[in-house]
Structure 1
Amino acid sequence: MLKAQYTERGPVPQAVIQAVPFDRPVLAPGQALVAVLAAPINPSDVLTLTGQYGMLPPLPAVGGSEGVGRVVELGPDTQGPAVGQTVLLPAGCGTWATHVVVPAARLLPLPAGADPKQLAMLTVNPPTASLLLSDFADLQPGDWVIQNGANSGVGSYVVQLAKLRGFKTVSIVRRESAVAGVKAQGGDVVLVDGDDLAERVKAATGGAAIKLGIDAVGGKATMRLAATLAESAAIVNYGALSGEPCIVSPRELVFRDVTLKGFWLARWFRTTPQPKQLALLTELAGLIATGKLSTPIQATYDVSQIKEAVAAAAAGERQGKILIVPTEG
């Protein structure tokens, strides 16, 4: 059994984490031993290793915030998913490992026969995309949404969920090589960011009123996105790929009544009743299991290759997610 552990944080994320062996644990009542089938490396995971994320676990810690597994054993007098059941692991339980010990009551059974690699990405990006589309504007079928960072994990789910809900999307990327991939996901209009973005968006949409902007980049990209929106529309920021604070001009905020809001999924999980959380995750799991929702995967790594995996996830120019897929278990 292996786990990817770090005892410090530093500017080079792959330098602080390593695979370490551990013995098979003895379970207490209420616990379950789960063999990890797949666990992604998200941008938030990389920022956690560098110490830049908004919520940091105490050290030492095991990396990985989401994933799926198969129940191997239940503790004494423990009720939970049956041994052999594929389950969604609790958020933040340290999923970059061959096995994890978790409370059995927090395991969510998943559809049998679905691709575990796609299900492994259920907890973070799909609900983020779904909530970005539902909680910040009253969108109706036929309405337009614009987003940047559209080739990201969240971006791909925004495109797919928008199409399932009847919305039209303008997807903004930062390099020409990302255009084809977003179009393949179903993007209606895909453009490379630039100073004349508002004019190009207007031409591509026929001057349609865009009610919602979704910003993953920050910096001046936020202002370019805001300039494409209809009056009194909202722009919601959920990331800072540029490493810079959001910039929005008084023209947009004052004269055009554009509002800038923020979204953090961790806060949503903390403040939302569990039945509502489970309902959303169950709905999204069904879409993934039936192939209606997916995201590209660039490469998979074993836990023993954690340094290489984190380096690949932290690098630019990726065409998909990096996943930890343990060979054991």
Structure 2
Amino acid sequence: MKQARYEQRGPVPQDVIAAVESATPAPAPGQVLVEVLAAPINPSDLLTLTGEYGLLPPLPAVGGNEGVGRVAALGEGVSAPAIGTVVLLPPSGGSWSTHLLADPRALLPLPEADPVQLSMITVNPPTARLLLTEFVDLQPGDWVIQNAANSAVGGYLVQLAALRGLRTLNVVRRESAVAGVRELGGDVVLVDGDDLSRRVREATDGAPVRLGIDAVGGGATERLAQSLSEGGVLVNYGAMSGEACALSPAQLVFRDIALRGFWLARWYRLAPMAQRVGLLQELAGLITQGALRTRVQAVYGIDRIKDAVAAAAAGEREGKIVLVPNQT
């Protein structure tokens, strides 16, 4: 088997990782061997390689924190999931590998569907779904505004909002990203700018916008806050700008805008198992039905892991980069 391993962290993520070959292990008693079908490269993976993420595994490590596989062999004493079952890999790291050993109790059986789309249900779709449901009690017809709308989370949020009858105001940072968000079903797509709040009011005819979702930080946070109704909630889950959230007293004090944070890893740690499994099964069902998808720019085999990581780290992509480890 081959694994994408790194022994150090550094500022250029593709420079620290490489495909390393070793013998394919046999599952020990109580284990299963899984052939990895697909594993995405997420921003959190890149931050892990550079040492900037909130949770860092001990070195040396194998990259990747989500993916799907197919059960290839059972260790002694294991009867399920059966050989051939498609399973969601546990979010414990090491998915950038052609094969891995796992505790069968940590594997969630999935329906047969496109493994590339299924491989991404652990991080971005739950983030989008929880951002929509955990902070403001929205009703069909309500508006929600988000920036980084052309990101993977943004695309899932557009689709999940539509399924709930919500209307989306989608903010992007470049004109070339507008068409892709509209294609996914975004109701209104706006390029960010100083007059954002005015354009939001025009697009909604002054209707309330009670929930804002921020992945950028810096001045973009303030512009979203200005676009919200009085008493609105603004949730930050990322800092694509590299800057801290900027929020003026005019928004916090005089308009009672609340700024909250969201980190999916914390939600996974605190949520009951039944709630976590239920959410993942819900999302897998939507993907299987074709009701939920994300754009994929390219797939790479594990021998091209450096190229894959470099592509994921590049700006202005038009979709996710996904590792299909056993692809030649």
Q: Specify the TM-score bucket, using the shorter chain as the normaliser.
A: over 0.9
Unaligned runs of 5+ in 1: none
For the Cα contact (< 8 Å) 1:68–1:87, is it kept in 2?
yes
1:50-100 Cα shifts (integer Å, max 9, x gaps): 000011011110000100000001111013211001110001331111011
Question: How many residues align structurally?
Answer: 328
Alignment root-mean-square deviation, CA: 0.9
Q: 1:22: how far off?
A: 1.3
Q: How does 1:271-310 map to 2 (within 5 A)?
A: 271-310=270-309
Contact 2:26 2:33 in 1 (8 A): no
- SS for the counterpart of 2:35 is strand
Distance 2:29 2:185 in 1: 47
TM-score normalized by the length of structure 2: 0.99
Contact 1:30 1:105 in 2 (8 A): no
Structure-2 separation of matches of 1:95 and 1:88: 10
**Aligned position for 1:43:** 43
Tell me the percent identity.
Answer: 65
- Supply the distance in 2 between the matched residues of 1:126 and 1:252 (Cα, whole angstroms): 30
Partner in structure 2 of residue 315 of structure 1: 314
SS in 1 for 2:227: coil
- Residue 61 of structure 1 aligns with which residue? 61
| Equivalent in the alignment of 1:145 | 144
Give the conservation status (yes or no) of the 8 Å contact 2:170–2:189: yes
The separation in 2 between residues aligned to 1:80 and 1:54, in whole angstroms, is: 34
3-state SS in 2 of match to 1:3: strand
CA distance in 1, matches of 2:64, 2:192: 31
Measure the CA separation in 2 of the matches of 1:58 and 1:288: 34
Does the 8 Å CA contact 1:110/1:285 hold for their aligned counterparts?
yes
CA contact (8 A) 1:149 1:172 kept: yes
Long gaps (5+) in structure 2 = none
Q: Which moved more, 1:200-209 or 1:254-263?
A: 200-209
The alignment status of 1:224 with 2:223, answered yes or no, reads yes
**Equivalent residues of 2:37, 2:324 under 8 A apart:** yes
Q: Distance in 1 between matches of 2:327 and 2:196?
A: 48
**Alpha-carbon shift at residue 327 of structure 1 (Å):** 2.7
Contact 1:40 1:67 in 2 (8 A): yes
Shift of 1:272: 0.7
Deviations 1:129-188 (A, max 9, x none): 000000010100000000000000000000000000000000000000000000000000
Report 1:1-329 matches (<5 A): 1-112=1-112, 114-327=113-326
Shift in Å at residue 119 of structure 1? 0.2
Name whichever of 278-287 and 25-34 sits farther off: 25-34
Give distance in 1, aligned partners of 2:257 and 2:33: 49
Shift of 1:25: 1.0
Q: Which amino acid aligns with 2:315?
A: G
Cα distance in 2, alignment partners of residues 36 and 287 from structure 1? 22
| Alignment partners' CA distance in 1, 2:76 and 2:188 | 55
Counterpart residue identity of residue 13, structure 1: P
Q: Any conservation in 2 of the 1:79–1:105 contact (CA below 8 Å)?
A: no
Letter in 1 for 2:186: G
In structure 1, how many angstroms separate the alpha carbons of the residues matched to 2:327 and 2:146?
A: 39
- Segments ≥4 residues shifted beyond 6 Å: none
Question: Does the 8 A contact of 2:210 with 2:232 survive in 1?
Answer: yes
Q: State the Cα deviation string for residues 193-228 of structure 1 (Å, max 9, x = none).
A: 001100011111111110100000000000000000
From the superposition, tell whether residues 328 and 221 of structure 1 become closer, same or farther in structure 2 (CA, over 3 Å). closer
Given that residues 302 and 327 in structure 2 are in contact (C-alpha distance below 8 angstroms), is that contact kept between their aligned partners in structure 1? no
Aligned partners of 1:178, 1:119: CA distance in 2, in Å?
24
- Asked if the contact 1:98/1:328 (under 8 Å) is kept, the reply is no
**What is the DSSP-based 3-state SS (H/G/I as helix, E as strand, rest coil) of the residue aligned with 2:224?**
helix
Contact 1:236–1:263 (8 Å) recurs in 2: yes
In the superposition, the TM-score normalised over structure 1's length comes to 0.98
Asked if the contact 2:9/2:16 (under 8 Å) is kept, the reply is yes
AA partner of residue 318 (structure 1): R
